[in-house]
Amino acid sequence: MNLDLTEEELAFREEARTWLRDHLPADERPPEGAEMRAFDLAWQRTLFDGGWAGISWPVEFGGRGLSDIQQMIWYEEFARANPPFTLNNSCTFVGNNHGGPTIIVNGTDEQKSAYLPPILRGEVVWCQGFSEPGAGSDLGSLTCKAEIDGDHLVVNGQKTWTSYAHVADLQELLVRTDPDAPKHKGISWVVCDMTTPGIEIREIQTMSHVTDFCEVFYDDVRIPLTNVVGGLNNGWRTAMSTLSFERGTAFMADQVELASTVERLIGEARSRTDAKGRALIADEEIARRLATARAEVDALKAMTITGISRTARTGVPGAEGSMVRYFHGELHQRVYQLSLDIIGGDALRLTPVDGDVWTGPYLQSFAYTIGGGTTDIQRNIVGERVLGLPRA
């Protein structure tokens, strides 16, 4: 694997760096509600006007069509620009990274014309209706049902952990349309208008005092059959096809931010003192943990670049991505646990400490080993598909 960038890639890095420097908003992102939605959509519109919307989307569908390496560079430069928000914590994420790509691969011409342009222009918010109270990591066990009634599906059931459902216009919804089929069969992927009668949304406040999760209840919700994407009872394959657009490049932004956090913690350990007046960095255990965190962040980056390089050669994302997700989640939690040990009692405040916020990210770090497949699920994938171990 050659880690040296080509002249073209170096020029692209400079292009991305310059554009971000000139266009990133200076204001902090509102934490929730209508103001948050307006901020995220305005940023999406800025990306669209600047020619940076849908960087992984094919050019023929309005995207930038960047290579995997260029996408990695873009995410790195975004994080290094010290933006007032994160890419993966935006209410435009699902439309850009799930809904839109799924329709590109599986949708009809009419569906592509109707749904793709508004996503790129920053006109709509999508949410994901996948997880249920009894079907999270084991998504194939979902029970939210949809029965055919004429030219409509009638949906009844519940979804949970639905990020931004309370501000969303549309939802990518998985429903069981054939209850007699095996659990990964008989599922359909549909576009649900969130203003349809029969939908009830209940907001869930997280322990970090942010309200972006929701429960969604469906009571005889009628969805046109023309909203089915990828074919009736073919929803599992339709949902999995979206993975071809996410090849691990977006993790680079998180990793650059995590590396920056470790460096800030080293600075905190040098400036803060213990009860005896010594700098915390003089404590051998604190110094060891900081050095380990710095080394592990570098190792995580190397793992990610290796995966991206392999995917660029083969065209197929590998199970090694689960290694990155597992290691990243565990490392994220370790770093923010270390932050509380260094910051001490000041970290109990939810308001900024010396210009930095530590408690909220610490509480949020627990989600990194749960969302998108728990740590145990990732371990199983690595054991079976990478190490060749028998199924448990």
In angstroms, the CA 364 to CA 375 distance is: 16
Count other Cβ atoms within 10 Å, centred on residue 270. 13
Please name the amino acid found at residue 325: R
For 220, left (φ over 0), alpha (ψ -120 to 50), or beta? left
Locate all alpha helices (DSSP H) within 215-350, ordered by sequence. Answer: 235-241, 251-271, 284-314, 320-343
In angstroms, the CA 246 to CA 29 distance is: 25
Tokens 């600075």 belong to 267
> Of 246, 284, 320, 330, which one is the catalytic site residue?
246
By three-state DSSP, how is residue 337 classified?
Answer: helix
List of residues 6+ apart from 274 with CB closer than 8 A:
280, 283
Locate all alpha helices (DSSP H) within 67-208, ordered by sequence. Answer: 68-80, 93-94, 100-106, 109-121
User: Is residue 140 within 8 Å of residue 183, measured between CB atoms?
Assistant: yes
CA angle in degrees (0–180, nearest 5) for 191-97-81: 145
Tell me whether residue 32 is one of the annotated catalytic residues: no
Catalytic residue numbers, as ranges: 246
